A = this chain, B = another copy of it.
Amino acid sequence: MPSYAAPVKDMQFVLHDVLNITASDIPGYADLDAGFTAAVLEEAGKLASDVLAPLNAVGDREGCRLENGVVRTPSGFKDAFEKLKEGGWTALDCDPDYGGQGLPYVMGTAVGEIFVAANMALNMYQGLTHGAYSAIHAHGTEEQKATYLPKMVSCQWTGTMNLTEPHCGTDLGLMRTRAEPQADGSYRITGQKIFISAGEHDMAENIIHLVLAKAPGGGEGTKGISLFIVPKFLVNADGSLGQRNALSVGKIEEKMGIHGNATCVMNYDGATGWLLGDLHKGMRAMFTMMNEARIGVGVQGYAVAEAAYQNALAYAKDRLQGRDVTGVKNPEGPADPLIVHPDIRRNLMDQKSFVEGARAFTFWGASLIDRAHRNGDAGAEGLISLLTPVIKGFQTDKGFDVAVAAQQVYGGHGYIEEWGMSQFARDARIAMIYEGANGIQALDLVARKLAADGGKHVMAFFDLVKGFLKENEGDERLKAGFLDPLKGASKALQGAGMYFMQNGMKNPNAALSGSYDFMHLMGHVCLGLMWAKMAKAAHAALDAGAADRDFYEAKIATGRYYMARQLPACAMHLARIESGAEPVMALRAEAF
């Protein structure tokens, strides 16, 4: 069975050596000294290794069962969830006014990675609650916040998000769920929602559903959509639980993975709901939740990959098979360990260099969110809104690839469920689909985010890369291995942007046909930038006489691998983009 150990050392490196968080002017960051963050991450790591990870295979095997309208989660999930609540982990980065601990989002992200890597399905119950918390926090009335937030911060009550219907996924304008206003100010919600993660379960006293529905007078399409708070149990004025609301779970879906999470069909049969935020502006409120969820899914992408990689690495060191062609490495044994073989190393280095790069990218993204929220910095807000589809789309695609690659190291054993590597691949697969399938992320990036505010944010991103290159141009240790490849990759990305500008106006399909490639190209530039920054930080630590030279040298070697073996994908993506719409659109639909 797979095991998991939190990569605390690598997280500390990103937080302190690369992002240098204690020197930041973001409120709250000064308190995040290395001793404090290490203590938090190690404590989370213990819970992850000892409690959450051993339940990961249990959740996969048992799944969730629907019995007489009640959902039973897998053995041990309830106890483990209690431990998450008791430890205050669900409150980590929540508002102290509602019982939160008020730590920055970057810490919530790091701890989130640990819990997701150990048990993605279980962590989703709190992840969705956090998203619903954020939406109520941002858009709720004082009364709504007082009613719901404290219990959601503690996960005494959990939350969900209800968007999808059988006939409408991405295209929410087709929505049929209705909200009828009542005399008391509430609404009667009627309709069916599908794919509702954690829609029903036995681990919380109440479940607070956030439901998109159409209220009268809003017009066609997404304009008529509003967001409603629809609790499983109505809440009395004194905060105690009242009557059961008119909603029920229709069935649990049989899925490819994340079996430990109950994915429900939810039926709202005249359920009582309350408007959250402004009438007919539900999409805006829902996007508060969605943007956070997209970062969270981007974390899932590389967190599951990290868990898969750890196990593939252990297997490659342990399994004896064949001999090193350059000379026997394990003369006492019947064969050498797999890790001596170049193609196994290539595979492991692909995994390692992605996971570490993605971690740095995601933590940096989380720090931009902190800067946006805590400093009210519009530039940071714009930049993270540009990067969000990349964090979600690129990292979940590559994270799945890594899980599949890790499975491959095991040979035939990788295909046998008992070894647990199949689960990583099956679980990772969903992250490419939900919270906006990755094609939608690419569309969001190219059709909305590039052009937002007159292209200001993508310009800011390029300036950032250029600034880094300029600042370090004299550093011979970085030049060939890092700066030159980064410059080339960044140039390819600018070339792609230029192609869209020159061709997208007269033919939008010229841009949209290249959107997926652009998302990946930008992902590589982002990870390339991160690796260049990490190499710089590692050299600085070595220069300063850091004790653990092996760690920093490995960091530089891993970065050189990423630059040499992954960044060549940039030119390929550019070539595809510049081939334009014609090859993509040439066939009429009937001619397929």
Contact = CB atoms under 8 A, between A and B. Distances in A.
A222 B591 CA distance: 53
Interface string A552-574: 01100110110011001101100
Given A349-B584, A576-B568, A584-B345, A411 B437 contact: yes
A558 B325 CA distance: 42
Contact of A342 (B320, B414, B569, B584): B584
Contacts of A412: 164, 169, 194-195, 433-434
| Stoichiometry, copies per complex | 2
Contacts of A417: 254-256
A564 B583 contact: yes
Interface string A99-112: 00000000000000
A253 B416 contact: yes
A408 B426 contact: no
A170 interface: yes
Contacts of A569: 572
A590 B349 CA distance: 14
Nearest to A256: B422
A189 to B, nearest CB: 21
Interface string A266-305: 0000000000000000000000000000000000000000
Q: Which 9 A-B pairs have the closest CB atoms?
A: A568-B575, A342-B512, A256-B422, A564-B579, A557-B586, A561-B583, A254-B417, A171-B321, A343-B439
A408 B438 contact: yes
A591 B560 contact: no
Chain A interface, >50% SS class? helix
A307 interface: no
Nearest to A592: B313
Nearest to A557: B586
B515 A343 contact: yes
B584 A339 contact: no
A418 interface: yes
Contacts of A468: none
Given A253-B416, A411-B433, A412-B433, 5 more contacts: A254-B418, A344-B439, A352-B592, A558-B587, A560-B586
Nearest to A573: B568
Given A325-B508, A509-B325, A575-B568, A554 B433 contact: no
B321 A168 contact: yes
A432 interface: yes
B317 A589 contact: yes
Nearest to A553: B591
B411 A429 contact: no
Contacts of A513: 342-343, 345-346
Given A349-B584, A430-B415, A337 B194 contact: no
Contacts of A512: 325, 341-343
Nearest to A195: B412
Interface in A333-356: 334-335, 337, 339-349, 352
A76 interface: no
A399 to B, nearest CB: 13
A550 interface: yes
Contact of A408 (B164, B343, B344, B433): B433
A339 B592 contact: yes
A163 to B, nearest CB: 10
Contacts of A585: 342, 345
A515 B335 contact: no
Nearest to A587: B557
A322 interface: yes
A534 interface: no
